[in-house]
């Protein structure tokens, strides 16, 4: 168009006088059309006809507006029928969801927060690769009361030398430290919350005053980040118990907020007779692409790692025994989601207590496989009959693999009872 305008200007202007210069002048005229245009009648005539062509008619305007509105409405209807328009960045901003997880359009933001990966930015401590959980925690005596300090935080934890998870942990270990008490003890637990969200602690199986029961939003407000709550009570039972988070529990306990609480009877003769003890605390893990997700029933996502006392076989502890020795095994259903039929090779064991209640002699029974459901505890006594490496393992065979792979004869929920002659 500018070329045409330039030529039109040239023919009416200086064209006749000097043809050789015409191109140059015309060139300039074309580039400064604003000045040349108004003087050139033909040029302004051409513009007038263009304006007429550009003029929008009312039917055109109506047609374009209507089709735009229809397209906008269709897009909204399509979006509303395929995605959840009620979710906002405030609900899901920064969340990493498990790969393969099935999410429908009515999955609420709160549910997504519950199932999302541990945020790596919240990790405040990286445990040494060979660190062990379930370490004894010593009490501080204050006026006859046994005082314990528990602190919850987000840590990195090795379940295998090559497999590091992000965990929620008491006192920077998975499981949390072992509390050993005697029936009748007065105890005080100062629980400090170093997690970036509220938590609480429940004393599973213990008879405590209701306000000490630790059920967040039911018996107490959850402990805010940075705050400390003190639980104080007298221990009136003896047996195998455990403690665990009771706030957002399907996420927090599944990610490691639990620990053993063993209470010895006042009369040692009432304790199960054994030469050695083994505490077995179970846990499932969802570890995918470097992210740790809480192990809970999620559509499309199953746990792929399993631990006894915070380690997967072959990193689980081996238990040295001699032929004839009796091993007291305290199974604790500290896992969150699945049932584990725990089996011991080399002969049956005797169940001597269930859920912290000692069984009378006539009620004791023999088993070699025991279903350990979440929350349950079983005390069993196993006698080493023959020398050798005897396995203790879950009999859901997938639970004795590490990310579906067997190494050194198994994985996950498995350990060796190493009996020498
Ligand atoms: Cu299992």
For 56-70, the pLDDT digits (tens) are 899 999 999 999 999
Q: Where residue 11 falls among pLDDT bands split at 50, 70, 90?
A: very low
CA of 400 to the centre of ligand 1 (A): 7
Question: According to the model, what pLDDT value does residue 134 have?
Answer: 98
- pLDDT of residue 244 exceeding 60, the answer is yes
Q: pLDDT tens digit string along 328-386?
A: 999 999 999 999 999 999 999 999 999 999 999 999 999 999 999 999 999 999 999 99
How much is the pTM?
A: 0.82
User: SS3 helix, strand, coil % of the chain, rounded to 5?
Assistant: 25, 35, 40
From ligand 1's centre to the CA of 250, what distance in Å? 18
329-359 CB burial, b ≥16 within 10 A, e <16: bbbbbbbbbbebebbbebeebbbbbbebebe
pLDDT (tens digit per residue) in 33-50 = 444 444 444 444 445 555
pLDDT, position 37: 42
Ligand 1 centroid–CA 282 distance in Å is: 9
pLDDT digits (tens, 9 = 90+) for 283-337: 999 999 999 999 988 787 889 999 999 999 999 999 999 999 999 999 999 999 9
**Helices (H) then strands (E): counts for the chain:** 8, 23
* Rounded distance from Cα 175 to ligand 1 centre (Å): 17
The pLDDT of residue 356 is 97
Q: How far is the CA of 398 from the centre of ligand 1 (A)?
A: 7
Band (pLDDT 50/70/90 cuts) for residue 51 is: low
pLDDT, residue 49, reads: 54
Which segment of 14-23, 213-222, 356-365 scores lowest on mean pLDDT? Answer: 14-23
Average pLDDT over the chain reads 89
Q: How far is the CA of 343 from the centre of ligand 1 (A)?
A: 10
- The alpha carbon of 316 and the centre of ligand 1 are apart by a number of angstroms equal to 15
| Mean pLDDT in residue range 243-251 | 96
Kindly give the distance from the C-alpha atom of residue 117 to the centroid of ligand 1, in angstroms, as a whole number: 23
Ligand 1 centroid to 342 CA: how many Å?
7
pLDDT of residue 52: 63
404/4 Cα distance (integer angstroms) = 75
Question: Cα of 158 to ligand 1 centre, how many Å?
Answer: 20
Ligand 1 centroid to residue 377 C-alpha, Å: 15
Measured in Å, residue 333 CA sits from the centre of ligand 1 at 11
The string of pLDDT tens digits covering residues 380-410 is: 999 999 999 999 999 999 999 999 999 999 9
**In this model, does residue 250 exceed pLDDT 60?**
yes
Is the four-CA dihedral 366, 372, 376, 378 of positive or negative sign? positive
Compute, in angstroms, the gap from residue 396 CA to the centroid of ligand 1: 5
Report the residue count for the chain: 421
Percent of the chain with pLDDT over 70: 87
Mean pLDDT value of segment 130-158 = 98
Compute, in angstroms, the gap from residue 187 CA to the centroid of ligand 1.
Answer: 34
State the distance from the centre of ligand 1 to the C-alpha of 61, rounded, in angstroms. 69
- Helix 41-54 vs helix 2-12: angle between axes, to the nearest 10 degrees? 150
Cα 350 from Cα 135, distance rounded (Å):
27
Of 343, 345, 342, give the one whose Cα is nearest residue 384: 345
Tell me the fold of 122-420: Immunoglobulin-like (2.60.40)
Distance 393 CA to ligand 1 centre (A): 8
Give the distance (Å) from ligand 1 centre to CA of residue 286: 14
Residue 188: CB atoms within 10 Å: 17
Q: What is the pLDDT of residues 98-109, one digit of tens each?
A: 888 888 778 888
Instruction: Confirm if 413 and 369 have CB atoms less than 8 A apart.
Output: no
Residue boundaries of the structural domains of the chain: 2-54, 122-420
> Which of 91-95, 163-167, 341-345 has the lowest average pLDDT?
91-95
Distance 359 CA to ligand 1 centre (A): 25
Ligand 1 centroid vs 340 CA: distance in angstroms? 4
Interval between CA 395 and ligand 1 midpoint (Å) = 6
């Amino acid at each position: 168009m500018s070329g045409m305008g330039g030529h039109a200007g040239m023919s009416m202007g200086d064209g006749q006088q000097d043809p050789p210069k015409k191109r140059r002048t015309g060139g300039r005229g074309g580039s400064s059309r604003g000045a040349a245009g108004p003087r050139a009648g033909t040029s302004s005539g051409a513009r007038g006809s263009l304006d007429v062509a550009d003029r929008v008619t009312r039917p055109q305007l109506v047609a374009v507006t209507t089709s735009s509105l229809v397209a906008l409405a269709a897009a909204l209807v399509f979006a509303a029928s395929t995605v959840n328009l009620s979710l906002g960045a405030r609900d899901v901003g920064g969340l990493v969801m498990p790969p393969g997880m099935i999410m429908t359009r009515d999955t609420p933001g709160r549910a997504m927060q519950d199932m999302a990966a541990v945020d790596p930015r919240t990790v405040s401590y990286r445990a040494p690769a060979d660190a062990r959980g379930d370490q004894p925690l010593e009490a501080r005596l204050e006026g006859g009361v046994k005082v314990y300090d528990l602190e919850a935080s987000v840590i990195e934890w090795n379940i295998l030398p090559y497999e590091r998870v992000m965990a929620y942990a008491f006192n920077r270990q998975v499981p949390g430290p072992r509390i050993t008490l005697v029936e009748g003890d007065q105890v005080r637990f100062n629980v400090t919350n170093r997690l970036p969200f509220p938590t609480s602690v429940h004393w599973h199986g213990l008879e405590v005053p209701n306000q000490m029961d630790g059920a967040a939003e039911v018996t107490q407000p959850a402990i805010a980040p940075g705050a400390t709550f003190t639980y104080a009570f007298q221990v009136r039972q003896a047996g195998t118990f455990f403690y665990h988070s009771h706030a957002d529990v399907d996420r927090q306990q599944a990610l490691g907020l639990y620990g053993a609480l063993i209470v010895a009877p006042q009369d040692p003769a009432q304790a199960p007779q054994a030469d050695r003890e083994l505490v077995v605390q179970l846990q499932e893990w969802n570890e995918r692409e470097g992210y740790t997700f809480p192990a809970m029933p999620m559509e499309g996502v199953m746990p792929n790692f399993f631990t006894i006392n915070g380690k997967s076989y072959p990193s689980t502890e081996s238990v040295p025994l001699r032929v004839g020795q009796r091993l007291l095994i305290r199974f604790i259903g500290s896992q969150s989601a699945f049932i584990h039929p725990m089996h011991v090779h080399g002969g049956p064991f005797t169940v001597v207590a269930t859920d912290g209640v000692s069984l009378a002699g006539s009620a004791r029974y023999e088993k070699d496989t025991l279903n350990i459901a979440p929350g349950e505890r079983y005390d069993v006594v196993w006698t080493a009959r023959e020398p050798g490496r005897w396995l203790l393992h879950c009999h859901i065979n997938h639970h004795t693999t590490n990310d579906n792979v067997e190494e050194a004869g198994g994985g996950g929920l498995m350990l060796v009872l190493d009996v020498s002659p």
